Amino acid sequence: MSTSSFIDKTIEGLNSKGFILEYVVDQYNEYNVFISANNALETIKYLNADLGYGFLVDLTGSHYPEKEGSEYQVVIHLQNLVENSRIRIKSNLSKDNLEFPSLTSVFSSSNWMERETFDFFGIQFTGHPDLRRILNVDDMDYHPMRKEYALEDATRADKNDTFFGR
């Protein structure tokens, strides 16, 4: 199986459609493709229908509060089972506009993954049939995986890790 050539073909195909903002091959030889949230659904549909990425491995989010204008990130891992090729799709979101198109029309499995991402990061998946909290209690009024919610009370003096902490 020629995985490396197929991933090049994927990048080529995405480029020809103008979906790629940028892409990075990291030190682990994994492909990170950055796309815009506006045409994310078209990109995923194209990858699914034309390039055979029919298996949604994972969908999650991250929070980078110090990155101005792209504080949130949606991270999607897709796999082409025939070519055994995996690709990581990322989309940066500004904290002022946390909207990302729902992929539920393409992958049924993204339903709960999106609910989980909404639950923990507050990313609004537009077009999701039932965007509710999933793991946390329904009346929780914040999104706990955001970095501003430290796990431990930051005001505790006895937990001051000046020398060994971050």
The span from the CA of 107 to the CA of 111, in Å, is 8
Q: Tell me whether residue 2 or residue 38 sits nearer to another protein (CB atom).
A: 2
For residue 14, the minimal CB distance to another protein (Å) is 19
Q: Tell me whether residue 160 or residue 164 sits nearer to another protein (CB atom).
A: 164
For residue 141, the minimal CB distance to another protein (Å) is 16
* CA nearest neighbour of 115 among 107, 41, 75, 123: 123
DSSP type of residue 115 = H
For residue 2, the minimal CB distance to another protein (Å) is 14
CB < 8 Å & 24+ apart, contacts of 17-23: 17/43, 17/46, 19/43, 19/46
Q: Tell me whether residue 16 or residue 66 sits nearer to another protein (CB atom).
A: 66
For residue 159, which amino acid is it? K
Q: Tell me whether residue 3 or residue 126 sits nearer to another protein (CB atom).
A: 3
For residue 82, the minimal CB distance to another protein (Å) is 10
Give the DSSP letter string of 49-67. HTS---EEEEEEEEE-TTS
In the complex, the residues that contact another protein under the rule CB under 8 A are 26-28, 30, 54-58, 60, 62-63, 75, 77, 81, 84, 86, 88, 107-109, 111-113, 116, 120, 134-137, 144-145, 151-152, 164-166
Query: Are the C-beta atoms of residues 40 and 101 closer than 8 Å to each other?
Result: yes
